[in-house]
Chains A and B, each alone.
Chain A
């Protein structure tokens, strides 16, 4: 400590620091490309979005009807977005959707991962590929595909119920829209999450299982008492992904929107933001909405990590 201080006050840089310079430059040279990309594609756009969100599209003189141009409006966009009921009800819908989709996705992913990891599992590669395959289908295509399967006159499920003399299943009506949308996410997301959990399971040393079996542990207990606690970090990671994914839901409801009157143009926050930015030609308003959504996502993620970390890795300080 004291040495540090004396060095710092020792005036002009000595030859020693000059000799050290190449060494201090190395990390920056190595970080350079990543930093450049980070600046160009994350930092600068974020700053620009913050700047944009303080502008507003206002009519100024010119043309037949006047022209809309960017002027500084301070926090007006934030005020308008935060007091807009439609924006908040979007978060309400996300909550319902998330409560259905996230636990089911993680639960099924864990289930499949445990089954695959089971010593007696057969055709492991094939099953893994089969469960993972839907993840490779782009969200929009998946939504269209399911959309056709939901619409009464093209749905194979409704075809069967009608053959049985019942009515078509109203997949896209009323509150059924939530499970129907969650199902699309489930179908696409389980495989990816399963893969993460399965990878985590494969990295558990087999000695642990041998020891457990020696102690008379059944396969059930092995799964519950040993495997699940050991993959908690993986569950946490997939949980976080799912949460962030939920807050960013856009493609599925947007694709299904033309098929049902249930999905409004501001059904989820991102659709609200899209409408501001592109339909209403008001990028500043969209920027404000995006900033609010980003801060919210960040806060929720942080909270989840704090809480979960304490529970998962409690005692490891």
Chain B
């Protein structure tokens, strides 16, 4: 009775979270319970809970990468962060600066050897380890092969060819666009700029340089601006009911995206399972297409509350390097970050969306091995993303150019960093 009254009082005053965190977590016969935030990953967590007796995971889906990082920051500032969280690579520096992530350098054990150095670099800086990579997102050209064949389109190997294909698609079916350029496609656009040689952030001896509006990135912006003006690609939000509907009708043909893309598309267009395929991302230069593969998305597992750090690291290691977890991950269409997981892809069937594609994992491996190294994200990517989408939106409506949108983003990001007190080159 009294407990019920207290619970009600708690609900009334909004301290249920506090009560819950006192009530749950550890204690009972040596079993450690970890609160874990991540989008998806349900099957892996079930497998972990079924195979472990001393650690149990309490899984919460706190929304996708962006939402989740915002909630994590807030929970961490309020002092009630979960024990373990998924975070996207691009948000890690900002989370480190806000002290939302626990450094696990001393607990990492042999984990660094189980990843490619370039991959490991995504979660550790100057030898300080802040997380363990889950999957990587080398970019590929994900396209609706059935519709491409139907319209007689070839798969582009360079971006110039892509422009021709976009024009052909518009000619052959006026309702169709080869792709949509989204306003919130910060990570994707950063990837395309990086592919051309752009560096959006660099840090040396604590001194930052922001290159969102460097010459290369502006050229990339001008290329897409031209396609928008000629109405060859559609500008607008993606993964909305509207866009999903168009995609299901076969009016959106492709998506340059990280190799995690098939899982996302399968989630909204199950009926097109088997119709899709991946190809190397078109390149900027002549010759070997995709020789430089940029990176988009992918995420890491991090410890976000340090009072059960050993158990948390054990769970993270299992999730990212164990055979069972990697098999489940590959089945979901993710490309594992760990070397052992990558080796396992060879024997796996392709993800359902690209179910008919024999060489799916070959192409994914090719993209992964040709990924550009040294990707550095800035300490205020959240701000950059937000400014970018606000600046790009009018550009997609034809009220501004993408080139100006990038300049605006650069200015806002530099101002924001300067105000916070980062050492920054103008």
> Is residue B203 contacting chain A, with contact meaning CB distance below 8 A?
yes
Q: Which residue of B lies closest to A57 (CB)?
A: B420
Whether A64 and B386, one on each chain, are in contact in the complex, defined by CB atoms closer than 8 angstroms, is no
> Is residue A65 contacting chain B, with contact meaning CB distance below 8 A?
yes
Q: Which residue of B lies closest to A154 (CB)?
A: B241
Pick the contact of A275 from B126, B386, B421 — CB < 8 Å? B386
Which of B70, B99, B240, B242 has the largest count of A CB atoms less than 10 A from its CB? Answer: B242
Pick the interface stretch among A5-13, A108-116, A190-198, A276-284.
A276-284
The main secondary structure of chain B at its interface with chain A is helix
Which of A147, A148, A259 has the largest count of B CB atoms less than 10 A from its CB? Answer: A259
Pick the contact of A64 from B73, B77, B125, B396 — CB < 8 Å? B125
Please indicate the chain B residues that have their CB under 8 angstroms from the CB of A283 in the complex: 77
- Nearest-neighbour CB distance to chain B for A263, whole angstroms, equals 8
> Is residue A251 contacting chain B, with contact meaning CB distance below 8 A?
no
> Is residue B21 contacting chain A, with contact meaning CB distance below 8 A?
no
> With the chains together, A67 CA to B420 CA distance in Å?
10
Q: A147-190: which residues lie under 8 A (CB-CB) from chain B?
A: 147-148, 151-154, 173
Q: Which of A's residues lie within 8 Å of B, judged by CB?
A: 41, 57-60, 63-68, 80, 147-148, 151-154, 173, 258-262, 264-266, 275, 278-281, 283
> With the chains together, A71 CA to B94 CA distance in Å?
18
> With the chains together, A65 CA to B95 CA distance in Å?
11
Pick the contact of A59 from B240, B242, B422 — CB < 8 Å? B422
> Is residue B16 contacting chain A, with contact meaning CB distance below 8 A?
no
Whether B96 and A281, one on each chain, are in contact in the complex, defined by CB atoms closer than 8 angstroms, is no
Whether B393 and A262, one on each chain, are in contact in the complex, defined by CB atoms closer than 8 angstroms, is yes
> Is residue B397 contacting chain A, with contact meaning CB distance below 8 A?
yes
Beyond A68-B98, A258-B184: 8 further Cβ-contacts under 8 Å? A57-B420, A59-B422, A64-B125, A66-B97, A258-B237, A261-B235, A279-B386, A283-B77
Contact flag A64-B390 (CB < 8 Å), given A153-B246, A280-B416? no
> Is residue B369 contacting chain A, with contact meaning CB distance below 8 A?
no
- Nearest-neighbour CB distance to chain B for A169, whole angstroms, equals 13
Please indicate the chain A residues that have their CB under 8 angstroms from the CB of B43 in the complex: none
Contact flag A279-B70 (CB < 8 Å), given A57-B420, A68-B420, A261-B236? yes
> With the chains together, A3 CA to B249 CA distance in Å?
90
Q: Which of B's residues lie within 8 Å of A, judged by CB?
A: 13, 70, 73-74, 77, 93-94, 96-99, 125-126, 128, 183-184, 203, 206, 235-237, 240-242, 245-246, 249, 379-380, 382-383, 386, 389-390, 393-394, 396-397, 416, 419-422
Whether A281 and B390, one on each chain, are in contact in the complex, defined by CB atoms closer than 8 angstroms, is no
Contact flag A264-B421 (CB < 8 Å), given A65-B93, A281-B382? no
- Nearest-neighbour CB distance to chain A for B338, whole angstroms, equals 23
Please indicate the chain B residues that have their CB under 8 angstroms from the CB of A148 in the complex: 241
> With the chains together, A261 CA to B184 CA distance in Å?
9
Whether A281 and B422, one on each chain, are in contact in the complex, defined by CB atoms closer than 8 angstroms, is no
- Nearest-neighbour CB distance to chain B for A168, whole angstroms, equals 10
Whether A281 and B73, one on each chain, are in contact in the complex, defined by CB atoms closer than 8 angstroms, is yes
**Total A-B contacts with CB atoms under 8 angstroms apart:** 96
Whether A67 and B99, one on each chain, are in contact in the complex, defined by CB atoms closer than 8 angstroms, is yes
Q: Which residue of B lies closest to A274 (CB)?
A: B70
Whether B416 and A278, one on each chain, are in contact in the complex, defined by CB atoms closer than 8 angstroms, is no
Whether A68 and B386, one on each chain, are in contact in the complex, defined by CB atoms closer than 8 angstroms, is no
Contact flag A58-B421 (CB < 8 Å), given A63-B97, A64-B96, A65-B97? yes
Whether B96 and A280, one on each chain, are in contact in the complex, defined by CB atoms closer than 8 angstroms, is no
> With the chains together, A280 CA to B66 CA distance in Å?
12
Please indicate the chain A residues that have their CB under 8 angstroms from the CB of B241 in the complex: 147-148, 151, 153-154, 259
- Nearest-neighbour CB distance to chain A for B159, whole angstroms, equals 23
Contact flag A261-B125 (CB < 8 Å), given A65-B96, A66-B97, A283-B77? no
Q: Can you sample 6 A-B contacts with CB below 8 Å?
A: A59-B421, A65-B97, A67-B98, A261-B397, A262-B393, A281-B94
Please indicate the chain B residues that have their CB under 8 angstroms from the CB of A63 in the complex: 96-97, 99, 128
- Nearest-neighbour CB distance to chain B for A305, whole angstroms, equals 31
> With the chains together, A151 CA to B94 CA distance in Å?
35
Please indicate the chain A residues that have their CB under 8 angstroms from the CB of B94 in the complex: 281
Please indicate the chain B residues that have their CB under 8 angstroms from the CB of A153 in the complex: 241-242, 245-246, 249
Whether B242 and A151, one on each chain, are in contact in the complex, defined by CB atoms closer than 8 angstroms, is yes
Please indicate the chain B residues that have their CB under 8 angstroms from the CB of A152 in the complex: 242
> With the chains together, A265 CA to B386 CA distance in Å?
7
Please indicate the chain B residues that have their CB under 8 angstroms from the CB of A65 in the complex: 93, 96-97, 125, 203, 206, 379, 422
- Nearest-neighbour CB distance to chain B for A83, whole angstroms, equals 12
Whether B240 and A278, one on each chain, are in contact in the complex, defined by CB atoms closer than 8 angstroms, is no
> With the chains together, A154 CA to B249 CA distance in Å?
12
> With the chains together, A288 CA to B280 CA distance in Å?
49
> With the chains together, A154 CA to B248 CA distance in Å?
13
Please indicate the chain A residues that have their CB under 8 angstroms from the CB of B97 in the complex: 59, 63, 65-68
Please indicate the chain A residues that have their CB under 8 angstroms from the CB of B96 in the complex: 63-65
Contact flag A265-B390 (CB < 8 Å), given A64-B128, A283-B77? yes
Please indicate the chain A residues that have their CB under 8 angstroms from the CB of B397 in the complex: 173, 261-262
Which of A41, A59, A266, A283 has the largest count of B CB atoms less than 10 A from its CB? Answer: A59
> With the chains together, A60 CA to B421 CA distance in Å?
8
Which of B74, B206, B390 has the largest count of A CB atoms less than 10 A from its CB? Answer: B390
Please indicate the chain B residues that have their CB under 8 angstroms from the CB of A262 in the complex: 393, 397
Whether B73 and A259, one on each chain, are in contact in the complex, defined by CB atoms closer than 8 angstroms, is no
Please indicate the chain B residues that have their CB under 8 angstroms from the CB of A266 in the complex: 390
Whether B420 and A58, one on each chain, are in contact in the complex, defined by CB atoms closer than 8 angstroms, is yes
Whether A278 and B70, one on each chain, are in contact in the complex, defined by CB atoms closer than 8 angstroms, is yes
Whether B73 and A261, one on each chain, are in contact in the complex, defined by CB atoms closer than 8 angstroms, is no
> With the chains together, A155 CA to B172 CA distance in Å?
26
Q: Which residue of A lies closest to B380 (CB)?
A: A280
> With the chains together, A13 CA to B216 CA distance in Å?
85
Please indicate the chain A residues that have their CB under 8 angstroms from the CB of B99 in the complex: 63, 67-68
- Nearest-neighbour CB distance to chain B for A41, whole angstroms, equals 8
Pick the contact of B237 from A68, A80, A261 — CB < 8 Å? A261
Please indicate the chain A residues that have their CB under 8 angstroms from the CB of B394 in the complex: 261
Which of A60, A147, A275 has the largest count of B CB atoms less than 10 A from its CB? Answer: A275
Whether B240 and A258, one on each chain, are in contact in the complex, defined by CB atoms closer than 8 angstroms, is yes
